[in-house]
Amino acid sequence: MKVVINGTPKDFTAPLNLYDILEQEDMIEMMIAVARNNVVVPRDQWSDTPMEDGDSLEILGPMQGG
Amino acid sequence: MDQLTLAGTQLSSRLFLGTAQYPSPDALAKAIEAAQPGLLTVSLRRESAAGKGQKFWEIIKGFNIPVLPNTAGCHSAQEAVTTAEMAREVFGTNWIKLEVIGDDYTLQPDPFALLDAAETLIQKDFTVFPYMTDDLVLAEKLIATGCHILMPWGAPIGSGRGLNNPYALKLLRERFPEITLVVDAGIGAPSHAAAAMEIGYDAVLLNTAVAKAGDPAAMAGAFSKAIEAGRAAYLSGIIAPQESATPSTPLIDKPLWHQGSF
C-alpha cells in the first residue's frame, strides 16, 4: 500500500498500523507528533490506528522558532 | 525584581527569547545563557529519520526553561489549530503562541482567523498567547473569548523598527490592566524593549534582534538588562513630561545669592 509521509509517497506491505509505519521509519523513539489525514493521533493510539492505502501522514518534530 | 506568573507558572525573567536564526547551535546556547529568559519560543517542522529537530531539542531541554511553541507559518484557523494540537503532543504543554498570518508582505496577523482559532483552542483547554496587531477591538474580543494574555506586535516580525504605535500599545495597557501584555515582534534595540516595559508591558518577546546581532550573546545580555531597567522604571513612577524647565539644584543659599537678585 502507498502512504504519503510528509508529502512523499512511500510503499509499505499491508496490513500495518501507525506504530508499525513509524517503527519502520526508525522514528518510534523520537519526540514527534503525527497527524493522519490531518487528524492528530496521540502517541498512545498509534498501535490502534490501522493504516489504509492512500493515507497521508504529517510527522512533526521540534524546530527553532520565534 | 517582581516576578511574572503566567497560568500558574512563575517565570524567572520578563524577557521571552526566540530560538531561530542564530548563526550556530552554539551561538543559540550562549545567547540563552546570557539572556536567562523566562520563556523560550520553539516551533514545529516536518521531522525525518535524520532527527534534525531532536538535536535542537537536546540543546533547549538542558536549560530547563519553559517553552512556548508557536504556530508560525499558518495561514488559516484550521491549520493553526492542527499545528497547536501537534505542538501539544510534541512539547507536552498546552501553552501556544497563536500565529495566523494574514499578509505575506508584512506578516501581519489575520485578526478574524486568529479569533476563530483562539476560540477553538480555548475550548480544547489550551492557554492561548495570541500574536496580534495593536487593535483595541480585537483585544476586547480575544479577552471575551477567554484569552488572559495578549501579545500585540511592536512592528512587523524581524523589522527591528521598535514600537510603531506607542499610543495604541499604551491604550491597550490602560484599558486592560488585568491582562498580561507582551510586546511581540519588531523589536530591534534594547531601548525599544525598555520603552515597552516603561509603559507597563509585562514582558517582551524577541528573536531577530538577538539572533542577527553581531554578537548574539552580548546583545542577549543587553536586552536582559534593558527589560529589567524598563520594568523597574515603570514600578518606580516615571515623571510626567512638561514644557518648561524646573531647576534641579535649589537656588536658596547659592553662592553670592542675595535678596532681590531675581
B47 touches chain A (CB under 8 A): yes
What percent of chain B is predicted at pLDDT more than 90? 89
pTM value is 0.91
CB contact under 8 A, A60 and B56: no
- Which range is least confidently modeled, B34-38, B48-52, B109-113? B48-52
Count CB atoms within 10 A of the CB of residue B52: 13
Kindly give, in sequence order, each residue whose CB lies less than 8 Å from that of residue B50, ignoring residues fewer than 6 positions away. Answer: none
The whole-angstrom separation of Cα B220 and Cα B32 is: 7
Q: What's residue B18's pLDDT?
A: 97
Tens digits of residue pLDDT in B83-96? 999 999 999 999 99
Q: If you measure CA to CA, which chain A residue comes closest to B88?
A: A33
With 80 as the cut, is the pLDDT of residue B261 above it? Answer: no
Q: If you measure CA to CA, which chain A residue comes closest to B39?
A: A66
The whole-angstrom separation of Cα B201 and Cα B196 is: 6
> Is-contact A11 A2, C-beta < 8 A?
yes
Q: What's residue B246's pLDDT?
A: 86
With 80 as the cut, is the pLDDT of residue A64 above it? Answer: yes
**Using 50, 70 and 90 to split pLDDT, how confident is the model at B260?**
low
With 80 as the cut, is the pLDDT of residue A58 above it? Answer: yes
Residue located via cell numbers 503525527: A34
B228-236 long-range contacts, CB within 8 A, separation 24+: B228/B1, B228/B14, B229/B194, B229/B197, B230/B193, B230/B194, B230/B195, B230/B196, B230/B197, B230/B198, B231/B1, B231/B2, B231/B14, B231/B197, B232/B1, B233/B194, B233/B197, B233/B198, B234/B197, B234/B198, B234/B199, B234/B200, B235/B2
**For an interface test with A, which of B86, B93, B107, B121 has the most A Cβ atoms less than 10 Å from its Cβ?**
B86
CB contact under 8 A, A64 and B72: no
With 60 as the cut, is the pLDDT of residue B30 above it? Answer: yes
Mean pLDDT of chain A: 94
Q: Minimal Cα–Cα distance from A15 to chain B, Å?
A: 22
With 90 as the cut, is the pLDDT of residue B256 above it? Answer: no
User: Which has more confidence, B259 or B193?
Assistant: B193
User: Which has more confidence, B197 or B255?
Assistant: B197
Count CB atoms within 10 A of the CB of residue B156: 16
Give chain A's length. Answer: 66
Mean pLDDT of chain B: 95
With 70 as the cut, is the pLDDT of residue A65 above it? Answer: yes
Q: What's residue B262's pLDDT?
A: 54
**Using 50, 70 and 90 to split pLDDT, how confident is the model at B1?**
low
Q: What's residue B47's pLDDT?
A: 92
Of the ranges A7-16, A23-32, B1-10, B123-132, the best mean pLDDT one: B123-132
User: Which has more confidence, B48 or B198?
Assistant: B198
Which domains are assigned to chain A? 2-60 (3.10.20.30)
Q: Minimal Cα–Cα distance from A12 to chain B, Å?
A: 16
**For an interface test with A, which of B28, B41, B68, B90 has the most A Cβ atoms less than 10 Å from its Cβ?**
B90
Mean pLDDT of B63-78: 96
Tens digits of residue pLDDT in B215-224? 999 999 999 9
With 90 as the cut, is the pLDDT of residue B130 above it? Answer: yes
With 60 as the cut, is the pLDDT of residue B98 above it? Answer: yes
Kindly give, in sequence order, each residue whose CB lies less than 8 Å from that of residue A10, ignoring residues fewer than 6 positions away. Answer: A2, A3, A4
- Residue B186: closest CA among B199, B176, B196: B196
B161-169 long-range contacts, CB within 8 A, separation 24+: B161/B186, B161/B188, B162/B186, B162/B187, B162/B188, B162/B189, B162/B191, B162/B192, B162/B195, B163/B192, B163/B195, B163/B196, B165/B134, B166/B195, B166/B199, B168/B134, B168/B135, B168/B136, B169/B134, B169/B196, B169/B199, B169/B201
Residue located via cell numbers 524646573: B246
